Chain A
């Protein structure tokens, strides 16, 4: 877990460095290029236990131009030419010069520069120290994060130096925290310094701070007061983490709920309002996802600049594609089966098989890659919460779609006709409403919504011909649980099922949690066959 995070941090760091290379190159570089090259070439020489020393020496030069080479060393992309003792970085299938980053043609045999975990750790810390001098505060912050994990007391002078110059409050805070972590590791630090450090770590409240505090308790013969303070700090951090854990679970639950809501909302119209069991509903979602894929393909080949807008372009198209398929289905099959729900179920299942196989024949059976635009990727922290942008967008999107549907149903002319037809078909017909068309368009609307749900789901799920199958049972459960014919019920149903599922997961595991939720719903339906928000009334003759 930690190593994975480190990897992510290192990669992000490298990406950032690489991206802003043009700007960082202008940063103060005291060391001459030849001196740098000499030190970089030295990385390839000597035994592995000499390497930390050589890295330190390179880092001492304080040039951020060394970062690329160090990174290559960490990732095993650094090669040396035995004959010329020159060092190159492998980049894809060719080699580049570590300083100029220009491609070089070497014909001689290259040998990979070896590194072990210790070497990598030191190289990472070195990168962090070099990045600490970057003019970009984002980069400095990330450098600090990496240094925090290393927490080497040799870094102390560097940190103090950085603290003097640091203006950015956030980075400064982080630096103080690192200082605290290093102080705690130092057995000879004064009691006051230790207490202050504990206080700072407590304020930090992260998993890492917890680790440092625990390490402090475990291996130092510190004073009783310091130990007690550390113990209290641990308890406080654990408590706040537990609280944040609940929020995190709620977030995960809402996130799952939003996915369920998106998948179920179209069904709430076709099943809830019209009473049609559409087993091909999942395939409408799948069509939406494949529309996104096609849109991105076209953009990739013809209009690469539009990639950031690919989802926005896909939304109306997915709505139209799924809606058109739904319309065709209603006109050609479903309208002959009104009043025979079980037959509708079978016929639409047949349609779902045909749609799946059609997609499989056209696009192949394997998963398709649908890219995330920039604004959908990444994550940010909110207190102790880790929120990813794509999940946040999907939650927001599901609520927007929900609100849109409510508006259409309750405020538009079409919605009025639709409600009229569902309440009293014959009366509506005699008022001049073309009920067959209202049926067809209502079904198309439900299908279209499923299509745009597919656009959103393409961002977090595998886009394959089986995409729809994995959502169909869940969607039905949501609609039935929430109460058929009640959109608010669908919202509450989706969110509560999502949250319940995520709260069960830590105790039961993901699969068992899902099974438990299914069992609970089965029992629930038997207790309240009409769902959470059932409409009461003189029961219809069964």
Chain B
């Protein structure tokens, strides 16, 4: 079993296309993410980065192509099922439960039963409380556990959202522009945080901030017009003439 899993890539996209009203947002895209790998994705606006995440998480159905997660066809499942299979997603705009405390945010996200009736009668166990405390430490919000999420700064919301994803304990984390709107210090911290997370699970990061990508120091995929333009180390990709042409500029 584990042998088989190690041979199968964690995420496997092949020949994926999707069009909106004739506009091809994703055009014959192929991408493979291995177990424990961290991948950075760059590309100009409209390259299809967010649409790709929509496809992986079940928000958008592809017109053609294969999308496999641990060998399972993701196109047959909806968002909630895919989330429960072990894919967590952070949105471009931080999306947390603003009217709940930080603690409650993490509690709701914590891995466990997603059944409605169990949620009605559920009580918290000591392990759950411990786990939440751990995550609070990781996202550096220990002493603000009872603050309403609405009262957090932009960067703190981003971290809270990452913390909620950790609470879900996913195998694959999709992170959409995590450092947008962050201060430089916060950006550095976030890079650290993501590297820490990637020790135990696979992470896909979409980002524009090249210094952040450099901090991450991982394999980079550059998308353009819905397809892979170039793939490899950051140095390899950023010296690729096609990438310079369409994205980085001369």
Write the residues of chain A forming the contact surface with B, with a CB cutoff of 8 angstroms.
535-539, 541
The answer to whether B59 and A539 have CB atoms under 8 Å apart is yes
Which chain A positions have C-beta within 8 A of B50?
538
A539 contacts B60, C-beta separation under 8 Å: yes
10 pairs, CB–CB < 8 Å, chain A vs chain B: A535-B21, A536-B20, A537-B20, A538-B20, A538-B25, A538-B50, A538-B51, A538-B54, A539-B59, A541-B93
Bound: A309/B14 CA distance, A = 70
Interface centre among A537, A538, A539 (most CB of B within 10 A): A538
Question: A537 vs B60: C-alpha distance in the bound complex, in angstroms?
Answer: 10
Question: What distance in Å separates the Cβ of A507 from its nearest Cβ neighbour in chain B?
Answer: 38
Q: Does B91 sit within 8 A of A, measured CB to CB?
A: yes
Residues of chain A with a CB closer than 8 A to B54's CB:
538-539
A536 and B21 contact, CB distance less than 8 A: yes
Nearest residue (CB) in B for A537 is B20
A541: chain B residues at CB < 8 Å are: 91, 93, 95
Chain B residues within CB distance 8 Å of chain A: 20-21, 25, 50-51, 54, 59-60, 91, 93, 95
Task: Assess whether B51 is in contact with A537, with CB atoms less than 8 Å apart.
Answer: no
Residue of B nearest to A535 (CB): B21
Residue of B nearest to A542 (CB): B59
| Alpha-carbon distance between A41 and B50 when the two chains are bound, in angstroms | 97
- Could you tell me the distance in whole angstroms from the C-beta of B65 to the nearest C-beta in chain A? 17
Give the complex CA separation of A535 and B21 in angstroms: 8
- A536 CB contacts on chain B under 8 angstroms: 20-21
Residues in chain A near residue B25, CB distance under 8 A: 538
Closest Cβ of chain B to A414, distance in Å, is 27
A537 and B21 contact, CB distance less than 8 A: yes
Closest residue of chain A to B21 (Cβ to Cβ) is: A536
The distance from the CB of B57 to the nearest CB of chain A, in whole angstroms, is 12
CB of B162 to closest CB in A, whole Å? 18
Chain B residues positioned under 8 Å from A538 (CB to CB): 20, 25, 50-51, 54, 60
**Complex interface: chain A residues within 8 A of B51 (CB):** 538
Complex Cα–Cα for A541 and B20 (A): 16
Instruction: Given contacts A538-B50, A538-B51, list 5 more A-B pairs with CB under 8 A.
Output: A535-B21, A537-B20, A538-B54, A541-B91, A541-B95
Residues of chain A with a CB closer than 8 A to B95's CB: 541
- Tell me, rounded to whole Å, the shortest Cβ–Cβ distance linking B193 to chain A: 24
Residues in B whose Cβ lies below 8 Å from that of A537: 20-21
Q: How distant is the Cα of A537 from the Cα of B22 in the complex, in angstroms? A: 10
Q: Specify which chain B residues have a CB less than 8 angstroms from the CB of A539 in the assembled complex.
A: 54, 59-60
Which residues of A are found within 8 Å of B20, using beta-carbon distances?
536-538
* 7 pairs of A and B residues whose beta carbons are closest in the complex: A536-B21, A536-B20, A537-B20, A538-B51, A538-B20, A538-B25, A537-B21
Q: How far is the CA of A475 from the CA of B50 in the complex (A)?
A: 37
A535 to chain B: which residues have CB within 8 Å?
21
- CA A535 to CA B20, docked complex, whole Å: 9
CA distance A538 to B50 in the complex (A): 9
The CA-CA distance from A537 to B51 in the complex, in Å, is 11
Task: Give Cα distance in the complex from A535 to B23, angstroms.
Answer: 13
Give the residues in chain A near B60, CB-CB below 8 Å. Answer: 538-539
The CA of A538 and the CA of B25, in the complex, are separated in Å by 9
Query: In the docked arrangement, what's the CA distance between A541 and B50, Å?
Result: 11
- A538 CA to B91 CA, complexed, in Å: 14
Distance in angstroms between the alpha carbons of A180 and B25 in the assembled complex = 74
Interface centre among B20, B25, B51 (most CB of A within 10 A): B20
CA distance A229 to B21 in the complex (A): 60
Bound-state CA distance A539–B20 (Å) is 10
A530 to chain B, nearest CB (A): 13
Q: Least Cβ distance of B161 to chain A in Å?
A: 13
With a CB–CB cut-off of 8 A, which chain A residues contact B93?
A: 541
Residue of A nearest to B46 (CB): A538
Measured CB to CB, the closest approach of chain B to A485, in angstroms, equals: 14
Identify the closest chain A residue to B19 (Cβ). A536
Cα separation A537 to B20 with both chains bound (whole Å)? 5
A537 CB to nearest B CB, Å: 5
Q: Give the CA-CA distance A136 to B95 in the complex, in Å.
A: 82
A81 to B164, alpha carbons, bound, how many Å?
102
Q: How far is the CB of B60 from chain A (nearest CB, A)?
A: 7
Contacts of B91 in A (CB 8 A): 541
Bound CA–CA A536/B60 (angstroms): 12
Complex Cα distance, B50 from A152, in Å, reads 85
Give the docked Cα–Cα distance between A261 and B51 (Å): 38
Query: Which residues from A are CB-within-8-Å of B59?
Result: 539
What's the least CB distance linking B20 to chain A, in Å? Answer: 5
| Bound-complex Cα distance A541 to B25 (A) | 17
Distance between Cα atoms of A65 and B35 in the complex (Å): 107
The residue in chain A whose Cβ has the minimal distance to the Cβ of B18 is A538
Chain A residue with minimal CB distance to B51?
Answer: A538
